[in-house]
Amino acid sequence: MFWPMTFGVQTEELESLEWPNAGYTIVLGSNLVQTRLPDVHHLIEAKKTGKVVVVDPDFCATAAKADEWVSIKPDTDAALALGMAKVIIDQGLYDKAFLQDFTDMPVLVRKDTGKRLLAKEVKTLKNEADQMDIPEYRTLFVVYGNNRLIVLDPEHLAPTHADLIGSHRVELTDGTFAEVVTVFSLLKEMLADYSLETAAQITGAPAETIARIAVEAATRKPLHIIYGASNYQWYHGDLKGRALSLLPVLTGSIGVSGGGISTYAGQYRVRFNLSEWWFPKQGKLNWVPYLHFLNKGGPRYPEKGIKAMVGGWGNPFDQHNMANALKDRSASGDIEFVATFDFNMTTSCMWSDVVFPATTWYENYELTATILHPYLQLQEPAIAPLFESRTGFWVMRELAKRLNPEWEKYFYPDLDDTQASLEIIDLLLKTGGMETKGITLDMVKKGPVRLHSAAPGDRQVPFYEQIHDRVPFPPPSYPAPLPATARFVPSGRIEFYKDEDLFLAEGEQLPVSKPTFADTEYKADPEARSKYRLRFVTKNSLYRVHSTHSNNVWLNELQGHKPKLFLNPKDAKQRNIAANDLVEVYNGRGKTRAYAVIDPGCREGTLIFEQGWWARYLQDESYNSLTMPWIKPLHEIYFVPGIWSPTSVWNECLVDARRITL
Ligand SMILES: Nc1nc2c(c(=O)[nH]1)N[C@H]1C(S)=C(S)[C@@H](COP(=O)(O)OP(=O)(O)OC[C@H]3O[C@@H](n4cnc5c(=O)[nH]c(N)nc54)[C@H](O)[C@@H]3O)O[C@H]1N2
Ligand SMILES: Nc1nc2c(c(=O)[nH]1)N[C@H]1C(S)=C(S)[C@@H](COP(=O)(O)OP(=O)(O)OC[C@H]3O[C@@H](n4cnc5c(=O)[nH]c(N)nc54)[C@H](O)[C@@H]3O)O[C@H]1N2
Ligand SMILES: [Mo]
């Protein structure tokens, strides 16, 4: 969620081929050695030209390969980033011109309201502002430079030479005066709370280390920050992302080869414009965030509730928060009908009224793209669908037509599903926009084809156009039209100051560090603090892709056929747990079980469980019966269908553990 707030995009990332071009790489909570196994050699390459630092509460596989491992307390990355930002600013290691031209750092903020000063509020600027023709999703803010107030043009990122620091008294149109101050001054003021001592105390990392990596990061550019999934799957993950964004921005490492901030996880963004077939021309898209469905409420939850659930390509009865609540709701009839299509008999299939046997990757056409490789790749059937299995397209067409015969026309009724798939892929390539220009079905049939980008060599370098060609932020996020997303950065620049009322009320105008669980577990149950003393971190397994391959006998053999949990020796000792003991993990919401690994690399106070085991391997006690779909209200501001909805925060979860005596 820090992406829309800061950059106005869904997500962005460097392709893995760009990793070796970084001068300095900091990986925070992304276990690339396990979760990006096919690409991780590029990270190893990055060590030759630059330095790779891994910040993780666990001595994970990636930490083991890094030049340096910095162990911090979970969910304290914001304090680390803010402590580093303070060092970079105090030592004058920031890129002044970059901040002036491409960020909101010179923008003036009213001290009385906390809102950004609007050009139309200022007596001497109102006329000029009224005459400027800007799109409705932009706002005219004010900066100060060359001893005068200047309207900040959101449509042109020309050099402004605006002051980064300063406060002024400004006459408003109604004759009153307002005190204003730059965002950068406010940031500096706020960072006074993040001295090295404070950052060290919050994170548990030594002050000297924080100071040293800050200086290294700012002097061995470009800086690349990799912000991983487990790290942002916390309630204040957005604050962490905003704080971490400060580092590449302060050092001017945005829009350049090898630099920036990347999140190789989450709501994977669509690579090109596929609205031509994806969105029917007429009609309204009713999009209910999954967390609203789980919470049975929220601004977009339908008044009459939801009675049916049709799923494919996913296994929510294991993989989603409140897996047990989902089961209860199905069993009680609250959800009346569940249908799933899959080629594995997953837990979700077991809980379905109807299961459609789906084709596998080797039985159908599919156009794929990934976040690490900007290539389009055609999956082609190697064999005809086996037994009763059908393609996802076939199932959707048949379902759609039974819901409303009118809808069949969107699904190429005259073609069989294979031909229809190719027809759709062809249409999407032709109408995909700049990214697919010149790419044909024949080309992808021959092999992977690189998508086009604005950067040289079609490299995937986020914001290259914004910095190199001074095109205002943000680039489009598909499938939404630009106005739907650009309104989140109305200055046309990278924004660190947010002034919607809720940000002001929460004290989150600027990125700050907030304590874990204060707004969630401790609020819901004040006794949770003493009852459940372990943070439950559920990370991804080397041996599965989520729950896919959960039943693969060879991969299970490699794991000794045992789900495992990782505990620090001190935490284990306190609970009388020894290596290989069967352990119950519990809280007020649910429980699960796994065999103990006593691991000094695992930070004290943290219990790590590798998610993805089907319930049948856990005696039907799901790890996701312990988790909770907390929703941070701020996230509701950024709802855009198909792009943003409130983030799941699986790690915002307290548990305790006890040995099971059989
Ligand atoms: N083998 C395999 N590969 C996969 C997947 C899979 O299931 N299996 N899933 C894919 C998908 S969809 C995703 S989203 C990605 C996710 O992959 P990653 O982004 O790598 O995420 P995780 O594996 O969940 O966790 C990475 C690390 O975050 C650390 N961590 C947890 N909390 C914090 C924190 O507060 N601060 C810091 N600094 N570190 C923290 C954990 O200790 C862990 O080492 O992997 C993808 N790749
Ligand atoms: N506690 C906890 N829970 C988590 C996470 C965590 O860190 N902690 N991580 C979360 C994350 S980042 C993610 S991305 C989710 C992932 O969770 P899910 O999205 O549920 O992913 P999978 O569990 O891999 O389920 C994918 C299913 O799709 C099927 N499948 C694969 N290909 C096809 C196909 O072509 N057609 C059809 N019809 N089916 C297909 C597979 O057989 C499999 O059963 O889990 C989330 N859940
Ligand atoms: Mo994911």
pLDDT score for 282 = 72
CB of 454 closer than 8 Å to CB of 5: no
Q: Whose alpha carbon is nearest atom 15 of ligand 2?
A: 319
Q: Is the whole model's pTM more than 0.85, yes or no?
A: yes
Ligand 1 pocket by Cβ (under 6 Å): 28-31, 34-35, 55-58, 60, 72, 74-75, 77, 228-231, 234, 265, 537, 539-542, 544-546, 612, 651
CA distance 86 to 196: 8
CA distance 111 to 104: 16
- Ligand 2 binding pocket mutation candidate from 58, 263, 343 (most atoms within 8 A of CB): 343
DSSP β-bridge partners for residue 341 = 312, 356
pLDDT tens for 433-449 read 999 999 999 999 999 99
pLDDT tens for 230-266 read 999 999 999 999 999 999 999 999 999 999 999 988 6
| Residue 31: φ, ψ to 5° | -95, 65
Which residues in the chain are classed under CATH 2.40.40.20?
A: 521-659
Q: What is the DSSP-derived secondary structure letter of residue 469?
A: S
pLDDT tens for 147-200 read 999 999 999 999 989 999 999 999 999 999 999 999 999 999 999 999 999 999
Fold adopted by 521-659: Barwin-like endoglucanases (2.40.40)
> Which ligand lies nearest to the CA atom of residue 655 in the structure?
2
CB of 315 closer than 8 Å to CB of 348: yes
Question: Which spans in 51-182 are helix H?
Answer: 61-65, 77-90, 96-102, 126-131
Is residue 278 in contact with ligand 2, taking CB distance under 6 Å? no
Is residue 379 in contact with ligand 2, taking CB distance under 6 Å? no
Q: In the structure, what pLDDT confidence band is assigned to residue 138 with cuts at 50, 70 and 90? A: very high
For residue 122, what are its two tokens?
């200022």
Closest ligand 1 atom to residue 544 Cα is 8
- Ligand 1 binding pocket mutation candidate from 233, 540, 567 (most atoms within 8 A of CB): 540
pLDDT tens for 481-517 read 899 999 999 999 999 999 999 999 999 999 999 999 9
Is residue 344 in contact with ligand 2, taking CB distance under 6 Å? yes
Which residues in the chain are classed under CATH 3.40.50.740?
A: 275-368+375-450
Q: Average pLDDT in the 23-29 region?
A: 98
Cα-to-centroid distance, 320 and ligand 2 (Å): 9
Is residue 229 in contact with ligand 2, taking CB distance under 6 Å? yes
- Ligand 1 binding pocket mutation candidate from 231, 536, 648 (most atoms within 8 A of CB): 231
For residue 350, what are its two tokens?
């077991």
Cα-to-centroid distance, 291 and ligand 2 (Å): 16
Cα-to-centroid distance, 615 and ligand 2 (Å): 14
CA distance 141 to 183: 12
For residue 193, what are its two tokens?
């709370």
Fold adopted by 275-368+375-450: Rossmann fold (3.40.50)
pLDDT score for 299 = 87
Cα-to-centroid distance, 35 and ligand 1 (Å): 7
| Residue 258: φ, ψ to 5° | 85, 0
Cα-to-centroid distance, 62 and ligand 1 (Å): 11
Closest ligand 1 atom to residue 543 Cα is 1
Q: Average pLDDT in the 286-306 region?
A: 89
User: What number of CA atoms fall less than 13 Å from residue 396's CA on the CB side?
Assistant: 14
For residue 23, what are its two tokens?
């001068």
Which residues in the chain are classed under CATH 3.40.228.10?
A: 1-103+186-269+453-508
Closest CA to 596 of 532, 535, 658, 551: 658
Residue 581 CB partners (closer than 8 Å, separation 6+): 595, 596, 659, 660
CA distance 166 to 170: 13
Strand 141-145 relative to strand 24-28, pairing: unpaired
pLDDT score for 588 = 95
DSSP β-bridge partners for residue 70 = 55
Q: What is the share, in percent, of the chain residues with pLDDT greater than 70?
A: 100
CA triple 282-283-288, angle to 5 deg:
140
pLDDT tens for 63-116 read 999 999 999 999 999 999 999 999 999 999 999 999 999 999 999 999 999 999
CB of 496 closer than 8 Å to CB of 187: yes
Q: What is the DSSP string of 266-325?
A: SSPPBSS--HHHHS-SSS------HHHHHHT-STTS-TT---EEEEES--HHHHSTTHHH
- Write down the mean pLDDT value for the chain: 95
With tokens 């062809």, the residue in question is 426
Integer distance in angstroms from the first to the last C-alpha of the chain? Answer: 44
Q: Average pLDDT in the 298-314 region?
A: 91
Question: Which spans in 145-228 are helix H?
Answer: 183-191, 196-203, 207-219
> Which ligand lies nearest to the CA atom of residue 540 in the structure?
1
Residue 505 burial (C-beta neighbours within 10 Å; 0-12, 13-18, 19+): exposed
Q: Is 644's pLDDT higher than 90?
A: no
CATH code of the domain occupying 1-103+186-269+453-508? 3.40.228.10
Q: In the structure, what pLDDT confidence band is assigned to residue 267 with cuts at 50, 70 and 90? A: low
| Count of other CB atoms within 10 angstroms of residue 324 | 19
Q: What is the share, in percent, of the chain residues with pLDDT greater than 90?
A: 90
CA distance 319 to 323: 7
| Residue 654: φ, ψ to 5° | -105, 140
Task: Report which residue type is found at 545.
Answer: V
pLDDT score for 560 = 93
- Ligand 2 binding pocket mutation candidate from 34, 269, 313, 616 (most atoms within 8 A of CB): 313
CA distance 628 to 75: 17
